[in-house]
Amino acid sequence: MSNIHASNHPLIAHKISILRNKNIKPKQVRELMHEIGQLLAYEATADLPVKSAEPQQSPLSTYPVVQLAHRIGLVPILRSGLSFVNAVQELLPTARVLHLGIFREKLSLQPVEYYNKLPSEPNVDQVIVLEPMIATGGTATAAVSILKDWGITSTIKFITAVASRQGLDNLHKKHPDVEVFVGVIDEILDSNGYIVPGLGDAGDRLHDTPSA
Ligand code: URA
In the chain the beta strands, taken as DSSP E runs, fall at 4-6, 50-57, 62-68, 72-78, 96-97, 100-104, 111-116, 126-130, 133-134, 157-164, 179-186, 188-189, 195-196
Q: What is the band of 66 on the pLDDT scale with cuts at 50, 70, 90?
A: very high
pLDDT tens digits for range 49-59: 999 999 999 99
Q: What is the band of 63 on the pLDDT scale with cuts at 50, 70, 90?
A: very high
Helix (H, G, I), strand (E, B) or coil at 181: strand
Q: Ligand 1 within 6 A of 195 CB?
A: yes
Task: Print the domain residue range for 37.
Answer: 4-48+67-207
The whole-number pLDDT of residue 2 equals 85
Domain presence at residue 57? no
CA 163 to ligand 1 centroid distance, Å = 9
pLDDT tens digits for range 21-36: 999 999 999 999 999 9
Give the total number of structural domains in the chain: 1
In contact, 112 and 103? CB cutoff 8 Å:
yes
Domain presence at residue 54? no
CA 195 to ligand 1 centroid distance, Å = 6
Q: What is the CATH number of the domain that holds 35?
A: 3.40.50.2020
Closest ligand 1 atom, residue 205 Cα: 3
Closest ligand 1 atom, residue 194 Cα: 6
In contact, 80 and 130? CB cutoff 8 Å:
no
Domain presence at residue 62? no
- Report the distance separating Cα 122 and Cα 83, nearest Å: 24
CA-nearest residue, atom 5 of ligand 1: 194
Domain presence at residue 123? yes
Q: Ligand 1 within 6 A of 194 CB?
A: yes
60: Cβ contacts below 8 Å, ≥ 6 apart: none
The DSSP code sequence of 12-23 is HHHHHHHHT-TT
CA 51 to ligand 1 centroid distance, Å = 39
